[in-house]
Structure 1
Amino acid sequence: MSEQITNALPPVVDRQTWQTALDDLRLREKAATRELDAIAAQRRRLPMVELPDYTLIGPDGPIRLVDVFDERSQLIVYNHMWSDGAEWQCGGCTGLTSQYVRLGFLDNYDARFVIVTNGPIEEALAYKAKVGNTMDWYSSSESPFGADVGAPPGAGFAVNVFLRDGGKVYRTWHTDGRGTEQLSYSFALIDVLPWGRQEEWQDSPEGWPKSPTYSKWLDSPDVARLYGPDGDTDARQARSAVS
């Protein structure tokens, strides 16, 4: 351990002083929770816009967007950034979506989660397997769908949410950039650590470890190494042994 990290320690106090400081922080945490509840309530009151009858490409060929719901009423789509022919796709997208491994709970909410990318379906499915993704992937390579929902070819990523009413599909919510962090459990875990994300832009006490932004994130090869079919068997076995 480096001297910098050895010295990067919070002050040591008695239990009552610690509890008082925690109680002060808890007031802000509770206020943030109530604000998030209010934001969610406003989100539930958003209007929506009807969409055209898009056709995507799935593992079995063309499929209408309304059928991607698989008879559910609600659909979350992660629009995965894509570069045709690249060995490794967007590290941020790959790292985020690698977290979504148990999605069956959405059945209780009449909802489904899928990935849609502008890449060719053959490349998309091969990449899905390579990095160990488990959710369903679709391609919008032969449709304007990606561009129409804020994730055009060769550009960014997005999260979009849709509602189905019979044969009609409506777009109800969208976010991109750091807005997608709310769908990540990794940042939630890292942010409660004493040193936090350790990124140089963050407000941390003097002497706290700092790293260039993104430098500690898993890149696409890291995800494949950890979770892909040809990944680190020893690492997976070690994780299983302690789970």
Structure 2
Amino acid sequence: MKDAATPGVVSREEWERARADLLVREKEHTHAGDALAAARRRLPMTPMEPVTVAGASGPVTLRDVFEGRRMLLVYHFMWNRGAAHHKQCEGCTHSQAAMTAAVSAYLAERDVTYAVFSSGPFEELLAYRDFMGWGTPWYSTADSGPALATRDGGDLRCYLRTGDGVFQTYETKWRGIEAMLPTLQLLDLTPYGRQETWEDSPVTVQLDEAGSWWRRDGRPVAQWTRTDKSVE
């Protein structure tokens, strides 16, 4: 990075004019996002068939996962069955790392429960959650059937509980889950951005493939906050 290009240098007055011009576009982007969110809230919903997941207390219904709240937000964590901790998904680990107990508490204030589903065996999921120091409720969908199936994982889904029914209201994947990745949104504010090959960046900036930097020395980056044990 020492030889990277830098932004042009201008006076404070010139900088403030350029910043003011960009602010107009940022506000337009914010208002467009508000309109998109309004349209999202107007999507119809579709009923979920009865389905169970496996949690700390054994099999429970999808309705039970709501923990008495009206809404449920579920992240589907990609799982490599039988693999060691350092071989689990770096992308899903990155997504989950920001979902702290405090975030879940704020969601709960708006009547939303946050949970993680995965197709792995519950004992493996619990071991990984505890290794990472996370408190989020995790559930195994290994025996849940097709109703909760995703690609391999990485999907975010929303449900609503009303009367005796449970309904799916929304789902997203790929870059749609970036709301869970404040790391990326903060990097977007910096002069070099995410430093990934798809971005419009200064040509002399070292660029990496998208997501390739989420793993370091054989581990998802967040795992180095939990251990100093090296891996091959």
TM-score (norm 1): 0.86
The change in CA–CA distance for 1:178 and 1:150 in structure 2 (over 3 A counts) is: farther
Tell me by how many angstroms 1:83 deviates. Answer: 1.8
Tell me by how many angstroms 1:225 deviates. Answer: 2.0
Tell me what 2:190 maps to. Answer: 193
Structure 2 counterpart of 1:199, one-letter code? E
How far apart, in 2, do the equivalents of 1:150 and 1:193 lie? 37
Mapped pair 1:127 → 2:128: yes
Mapped pair 1:182 → 2:183: no
Correspondences of 1:43-62 after superposition (within 5 Å)? 43-62=40-59
Correspondences of 1:216-231 after superposition (within 5 Å)? 216-218=213-215, 220-226=219-225, 228=226, 231=227
Tell me what 2:203 maps to. Answer: 206
Tell me by how many angstroms 1:166 deviates. Answer: 2.6
How far apart, in 2, do the equivalents of 1:188 and 1:32 lie? 14
Mapped pair 1:78 → 2:82: no
How far apart, in 2, do the equivalents of 1:23 and 1:139 lie? 49
Tell me by how many angstroms 1:216 deviates. Answer: 2.3
How far apart, in 2, do the equivalents of 1:120 and 1:131 lie? 17
Identity of aligned residues (%): 38
How far apart, in 2, do the equivalents of 1:206 and 1:221 lie? 28
The change in CA–CA distance for 1:49 and 1:78 in structure 2 (over 3 A counts) is: same
Runs of 5+ consecutive residues of structure 1 not aligned to the other structure: 233-243
What does the per-residue CA deviation read over 1:93-119, in whole Å, with 9 as the maximum and x for residues that have no partner?
011101111210112111110000011
Moved over 6 A (4+): none
Structure 2 counterpart of 1:114, one-letter code? A
How far apart, in 2, do the equivalents of 1:216 and 1:193 lie? 17
Instruction: Provide the aligned C-alpha RMSD in A.
Output: 1.6
Q: Is the 8 A contact 1:150 1:158 kept in 2?
A: no
What does the per-residue CA deviation read over 1:153-188, in whole Å, with 9 as the maximum and x for residues that have no partner?
xx2320000000132100000001111112221111
Tell me by how many angstroms 1:208 deviates. Answer: 2.8
How far apart, in 2, do the equivalents of 1:175 and 1:201 lie? 21
Structure 1 counterpart of 2:98, one-letter code? Q
Tell me by how many angstroms 1:218 deviates. Answer: 4.4
Mapped pair 1:163 → 2:164: no
How far apart, in 1, do the equivalents of 2:188 and 2:135 lie? 26
Mapped pair 1:63 → 2:60: yes
Structure 2 counterpart of 1:115, one-letter code? V
TM-score (norm 2): 0.90
Q: Is the 8 A contact 1:200 1:213 kept in 2?
A: yes
Task: Classify the secondary structure of the residue corresponding to 2:213.
Answer: coil
The change in CA–CA distance for 1:179 and 1:135 in structure 2 (over 3 A counts) is: same
Moved more, 207-216 or 12-21: 207-216
How far apart, in 1, do the equivalents of 2:120 and 2:56 lie? 13
Tell me what 1:97 maps to. Answer: 96
Structure 2 counterpart of 1:112, one-letter code? T
Structure 2 counterpart of 1:89, one-letter code? Q
